[in-house]
C-alpha cells in the first residue's frame, strides 16, 4: 500500500473541496439570485468540465500554466516555480475539473428555496450575502453536503487531469489513481485490487452517508 499516495490524495481532495465550496457557494447564489443574459454563459462555463475530456482539460491547463504562455511565465515568476508538475498545479486543475460537481447541487438546492422567503428577506433589508448565510445555507444544507462529498470523491478518483498536469512525482503529484495505473501497467493485480478497493469503498461510504442523511431528514428534495 502506497501510504504517501493515499495521504497526498486525501490532502488534494480536502484542499480542493474547501476551495470549491468557497467559490461555488457565492457562484451558485449569484446564478440563482441574479438576472441577465450573462448568467446563462457563466452557468454553461461552470458546467463545461462535465463534457470536456479530462485529458483535454489537463492539456489546456498544462499549456496555460507552462512556459509557453505569458500567463504561465508570470505565475512562475510570482511563485518561483512553475505550477505544472506541482501539488499547487494539481489543486488548480482539480478545482476547475470538479467545479460542476459543487455548483450544480448548490444551484438546485438554492433554487428550491421558496422565492417568497427570499422576497421577504430582501424587503427586510437583507443583502445577498445575508440571504445566502441565513436562508440558502441552512435551508439547502443537504445540497451543501452533497456538493462537498461529490467534490471530494470526484477529486479522489481523478486521473486524466492529474496525469496530464502533474505527471507522476512521488510525494508531489502521485495520487492513488496514478498508483493504480502503475500497478496495472506492472501486472501487480493484487496491489491494484487493494488500491481500487480503497477508492471504491470511500465512494460507496460517502454516497451512502449522503442518501442516509437525506432520508433521515424526511425527504428526497435536494
Partner 1 sequence: MLELAFDVRRGSFHLQVECRFASQWTVVFGPSGAGKSTLLRMIAGLELSESSQPQRARVLLDSRLLTDSARGIRLRPGHRKTTMVAQQSALFPHMSVAANVAYGLRFLDRASQSARVEEMLRLVDALRLIHRRPRELSGGEAQRIALARALAPGPRLLLLDEPFSALDGAASDALLIRLKDWAVEHGVQTVMATHDATDALATAAEVALLHEGRLVALGPAAEVLADERERLQSRLN
Applying CB under 8 A, the residues found at the interface with partner 1 are 35, 114, 116-117, 119-127, 134-135, 138-139
35 or 220: whose CB is closer to partner 1? 35
CB of 141 to partner 1, least distance (A): 9
42 or 139: whose CB is closer to partner 1? 139
CB of 41 to partner 1, least distance (A): 16
- How far is the C-alpha of 74 from the C-alpha of 68, rounded, in Å? 11
Residue 157, judged by CB atoms within 10 A of its CB (0-12, 13-18, 19+), counts as: middle
Residue 135 · residue 117 · CB < 8 Å: yes
CB of 124 to partner 1, least distance (A): 3
34 or 53: whose CB is closer to partner 1? 34
CB of 127 to partner 1, least distance (A): 8
CB of 130 to partner 1, least distance (A): 8
Residue with cell 461510504: 205
- How far is the C-alpha of 144 from the C-alpha of 99, rounded, in Å? 13
> Between 3-33 and 176-185, two packed helices, what is the crossing angle to 10 degrees?
130
4 or 127: whose CB is closer to partner 1? 127
Q: Which three cell numbers stand for residue 33?
A: 439570485
- Choose among 100, 131, 132: nearest CA to 20: 100
129 or 200: whose CB is closer to partner 1? 129
Amino acid at each position: 500500500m502506497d501510504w504517501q499516495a493515499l495521504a497526498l490524495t486525501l490532502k488534494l481532495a480536502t484542499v480542493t473541496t474547501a476551495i470549491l465550496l468557497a467559490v461555488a457557494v457565492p457562484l451558485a447564489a449569484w446564478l440563482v439570485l441574479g438576472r441577465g443574459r450573462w448568467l446563462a454563459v457563466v452557468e454553461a462555463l461552470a458546467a463545461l468540465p462535465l463534457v470536456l475530456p479530462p485529458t483535454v482539460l489537463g492539456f489546456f491547463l498544462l499549456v496555460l500554466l507552462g512556459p509557453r504562455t505569458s500567463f504561465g511565465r508570470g505565475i512562475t515568476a510570482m511563485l518561483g516555480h512553475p505550477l505544472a508538475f506541482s501539488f499547487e498545479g494539481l489543486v488548480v486543475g482539480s478545482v476547475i475539473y470538479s467545479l460542476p460537481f459543487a455548483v450544480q447541487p448548490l444551484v438546485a438546492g438554492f433554487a428550491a428555496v421558496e422565492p417568497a422567503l427570499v422576497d421577504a428577506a430582501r424587503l427586510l433589508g437583507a443583502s445577498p450575502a445575508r440571504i445566502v448565510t441565513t436562508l440558502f445555507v441552512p435551508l439547502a444544507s443537504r445540497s451543501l453536503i452533497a456538493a462537498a462529498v461529490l467534490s471530494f470523491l470526484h477529486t479522489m478518483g481523478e486521473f486524466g487531469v492529474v496525469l496530464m498536469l502533474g505527471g507522476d512525482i512521488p510525494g508531489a503529484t502521485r495520487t492513488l489513481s496514478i498508483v493504480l495505473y502503475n500497478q496495472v501497467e506492472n501486472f501487480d493485480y493484487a496491489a491494484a485490487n487493494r488500491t481500487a478497493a480503497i477508492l471504491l469503498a470511500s465512494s460507496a461510504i460517502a454516497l451512502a452517508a449522503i442518501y442516509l442523511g437525506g432520508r433521515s431528514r424526511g425527504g428526497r428534495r435536494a
